[in-house]
Structures are given as C-alpha cells and as structure tokens.
Structure 1
Amino acid sequence: MPLATVHLISLTSNTTIPSFVKTVRSASEIKTLVISKVIRWIITPGTISAQELLQPKKPWDLLLIVLGNDPLPDSVKSKIELHWSVTAGVPSRLTNNFDQTNTRLLHPDPKSIPALTGSLSKPRMGSSSQTLELSAGLNQWVESFSQTHAGQNAMSMLNLLAFKPGKKADYLQYGKAFAETIGAKRGGNAKLVGNVTAQQDQSVSGGKWDEFALAHYPSITHFADMLASEDYQAVNLKYRVPSLADTFILATSEIELENVVKGQATAKL
C-alpha cells in the first residue's frame, strides 16, 4: 500500500501561489496527487492538532498531497512559512491513474452531474456544523460562496478522523451508505482515503488521527443539499457522529487554484 503525505501550507510573504505551484511541478522528487486552494473550515478540530491547525502564524493557503513520505525538497521548503502534515497508507487502486480520475471529477461532462435532490428548499437545520449539519451560519456562507465560480464547481473536502475505541465499525456503516446512496446521489466521492501512519505533531497532547479522506462534491451546493437532507442526517447522526472522538473538515478548491495559476484571479486571495 503506497504512502501519501498530506501537507497544509502557508506560503512566505514574498511567494505567490503560481510561483509555488510552478516550483512544485518542476521538482522531480515530488509526485503530486492534489494541489488545492484552502477555502474555509467546515468542522474545526476539538483537541487533536487544534492549536497547530487553528492558530497558525499565517492563514493556510494550500493543501498539497504527494505520494510518499520523503521531506519536501529545499526548493519547495524555501517558499513555505509553515506547514502541518500527516502521512497515510492509501490503497493503490486509488492512486493508480489518479490524475485521470481526478481530472474527470474536476471537469465532468455537465450531463453527468447529478441534479440536486430538493433538500435545500426546506432544509433540515442543525444548531452547529460541528456535527456536519447545516447550521444557519454555514447555510449563509454556502449561499454566498455558491455565487462564485469556485462555488459553482467541484470542491475537495479534506477530512481527518479519530475514532472512539471500538467504534470504527459504526463509521464503516456510514462510509458504505455515503458511497452507495446518501453521498453518491449528490455526486459525493471519497477520491482518496487512507490510514494515518504518522503526523507532524504526534508528540503534542490531544491524541492522534486515525484516518484521512479527501471527498469530492460537484459543487458546494451539492454538499449543502446532502447536509440539509433527512436521509443523510439519519445515517450521519446514527453512525458517523457517535463514532468519532475528533474530526475536522476543511473545504478546498482545486478549481480556484487553477484560476489563480491561470491568472484569472489575484495571486494572493
């Protein structure tokens, strides 16, 4: 099972996103799976890595996922102000031909994108998005972000998971339902998943992450349509929420990164 390392990166003040991407792509030592623009926290970590993730010296700019666990080359590190990372074993069936698979997800035939289910017309609201329910604050942000180019296109949600003792089997029931029904019918796809083998801050109190996943959605509205539905929450609140000791979800956009690199947006958003 190949290893992959997930990096959250804040760039130095004199480094633009396009110049960083160019450096990464020109580094022969790096096999890049994903580079994505950090957009917003959906769920924040409670205890694990919370200080490192939520109180960086500078806001996170990019998500970088690479094959292997070798240190980043000096040419890349020189452009990074700070970074946080975890390494995970990822099934080869996901890493093989990932570039082609990911391109199809990011730039699909419009006819292949599933229609919304209508959940947002009378949304099921929750008091907090920390339980992956559609809170008032999250709903307001989704409505605004969905008007942007990035919000109307594919989103990549970084998930980190820590399970309660003996509860992973319950989470797997959630995962099965996500893949077969509640997520799939909204275009949800866990395009990368893996068991965490090491994390940068593992000496810090608070515990360790068990698993990571990078979930694809055709748009932020498809994601919200799922959260607002009764069928999703019936599974989420029964299996997912009670099985987790800690978790976070960070919304990122590979499409927004493409726009920045192509010069369709300012280099530093």
Structure 2
Amino acid sequence: MPLTTLHLLALAPNATISRFLRALSSRGITPLVASKPIKWIIKPSHLSVSTLLDTPWDLLLILPTSTPLPEIYTGRDWVQAHWSITAGVPKALVEGFEAKNQRLLAPREGDVLALTGALGQPRIAPSAQGLELSDELLAWSRDFKLGQRGAVSMLNLLAFNEGQDMHDSYARYGSAFATSIGKRRGGLAKLVGRVVAGQGSGGEDTAGWEEVALAHYPSIRHFVDMLASEDYQEVNHRERLPALRDTCILCTTELDAELGTDKAKL
C-alpha cells in the first residue's frame, strides 16, 4: 500500500495559507489534500488530547510519504506547531485521486443527492461525542455558511478496543456507511489507511492511533442529516461505538492547491 503522511500545521504569525501552498508548489509539491480545519466534531478523550486540542491548526495537508515537507517550510519562520501521522492507503484510492476528488469538490448537476428528510424530526443527543446530533452541533451547522452548499471533509482518527471482533465490528460499520447509511447522504470515505509508525516525519504522533480516514460529504447539511437519522444511529450504536477505544473527527474544508490571496494570520 502507498504510504501517505497527514500533516496538521499551525502557521507562524506572518505566514499565510496561500503563501505556504505557493511555496510548496514552487518546489513541485502538490498535496493530495490541502484543507482548512474548522471545528472538532468529536474530541479525542485519551490519545493526543492536548497535542491536538490545544493548538489552533491552520492547515491540513495529506502528501505521499515519498514527498516530505521541505525542512525550510517546517521551520519557525513558517510553522509554529506540527503534528503528523502516516498511514498505508490502498493503491486503488490513491490512483487518480486528484481527478476523483475534483469531481467531488466541484460536482456536476445531478451529482449531489437530496437530503433524506431526517432533519425534519431529528434525533437529538446531549453531546456529539458519540457521533450523534446535539443541539450545539445543529445550531453550528446552520450558521456554517462555508459548508451550506460546499463540500466538507471530515478527518477521522481511530483506535480500537482489543480483539479482532472489534475490528470486525467497525468493518461492518464501514461497509454499511459505504453501501447505505453514508452513501444515501453522499458520504464517501475517500482516503482510508492503517497507521504505520516510525516514519520520522516532523511532529510524528506516537500516541497509538491505528487508522485514519478522510470522509467526504456534499455539504454540512448532508452530514447532520445522517447524524439525525434513525438508520444511521442504529448502526452507529451497534457496530461503531462499541469498537472504538478512542476517536476524533475534525471538520475541514478543502482548498485549491494554489490560492490567490488570503489574509495573514493575526
């Protein structure tokens, strides 16, 4: 399986996202994914808690491990904090990824599925930590202008309870997501991989995460439509939640590889 490294970066005060991406482009580096972190939907409870949550991340990059970030662009002039993790991703997902991803981010007429109506009578939970819809998450989603019509990409980190049966349980959840409960909301796990430790990337995580996944949704409304539904929550509670020792989900919006302008971070 090809190795890909996921980087979370907090940029230096005078750096900007567009300058950083243009600097990479000048070195012939084109990320598989360049995305802006927006909100933790689920926060980690045991692994990498302070590392992930105490830093206001500016940029998520996913690069082939064979294309490391140049040291000059990970120094203090550019980056204040750096966290990374490497995973083996099936070759079929990586091949032709740019074209497939562009079709997802710029869909043609008829590509985007209608909402299922679950938000008409949403299933509400006290917290989103179980990947359920809370009042806070629903209110935030309604105010999230960037994601009302545009796609969102949800970064998932996963660690499993002991036993092969836990991996099997999550695999059943993944199958249901791909064929029914996620698919009918336009959900797609576009990059999925098992963590491969000891790759020596900057800020490499050693906390014990086992898998990473980047899931696409046509809009934030499609994501909360899924969380609000009985069919999703039935599988979530039966297969996903019992399997996980820890997990977190970061909502991001993907960027053009070369941005025109943006404002310096204050």
Name the amino acid aligned to 1:13.
P
Distance between the aligned counterparts of 1:198 and 1:50, measured in 2? 18
- Where does residue 261 of structure 1 map in the other structure? 259
Stretch deviating more after TM superposition (66-75 or 244-253): 66-75
1:164 aligns with 2:168: no
- Inter-CA distance 268–261: structure 2 relative to 1 (3 Å threshold): farther
Q: Does 1:76 align with 2:70?
A: no
Per the alignment, residue 22 of structure 2 pairs with 22
Question: 1:185-200 to 2 correspondence within 5 Å?
Answer: 185-198=184-197, 200=204
* Superposed counterparts of 1:75-94, under 5 Å: 75-78=72-75, 79-94=78-93
SS in 2 for 1:64: strand
CA distance in 1, matches of 2:264, 2:235: 40
8 Å CA contact retained: 1:31, 1:67: no
Of 131, 148, 152, the residue aligned with 2:149 is 152
**What is the deviation of 1:27?**
2.0
Q: Which runs of 5+ in 2 are unaligned?
A: 199-203
SS of alignment partner, residue 111 of structure 1 = coil
Sequence identity percentage: 51
For 1:223 and 1:153, locate their aligned partners in 2 and report how far apart those are by CA, in whole Å: 12
Q: Secondary structure at the match of 2:69?
A: coil
Alignment: residue pair count: 257
Alignment of structure 1 residues 207-218 onto 2, 5 Å: 207-218=207-218
Superimposed CA distance per residue, residues 117-160 of structure 1 (whole angstroms, 9 cap, x where no aligned partner): 00001101111100000011111101111xx1443200010000
Q: CA deviation at 1:51?
A: 1.3
The alignment's TM-score, normalised by the length of structure 2, stands at: 0.92
State the partner residue of 2:242: 242
Question: In structure 2, how many angstroms separate the alpha carbons of the residues matched to 1:189 and 1:52?
Answer: 28
User: Displacement, 1:260?
Assistant: 9.6
Aligned-partner SS, 2:32: strand
Match of 2:229 in 1: 229
The code of the aligned residue for 1:187 comes to: G
User: Could you list the runs of 4 or more consecutive aligned residues of structure 1 that deviate by over 6 angstroms after TM superposition?
Assistant: none
Alignment of 1:42-57 (within 5 A): 42-56=41-55
Secondary structure of 1:102's partner?
Answer: helix
Q: Give the Cα separation in 2 of the matches to 1:104 and 1:19.
A: 26
Partners of 2:257 and 2:94 in 1: CA distance: 25
Query: Does structure 1 residue 61 correspond to structure 2 residue 65?
Result: no
Check the 8 A contact 2:34/2:257 in 1, yes or no: no
SS in 2 for 1:110: coil
Unaligned stretches of 5+ in structure 1?
none
Secondary structure of 1:112 counterpart: coil
RMSD: 1.8
Residue 5 of structure 2 contacts residue 84 of structure 2 at CA under 8 Å; is this kept in 1?
yes
Task: Note the C-alpha offset of 1:69.
Answer: 5.5
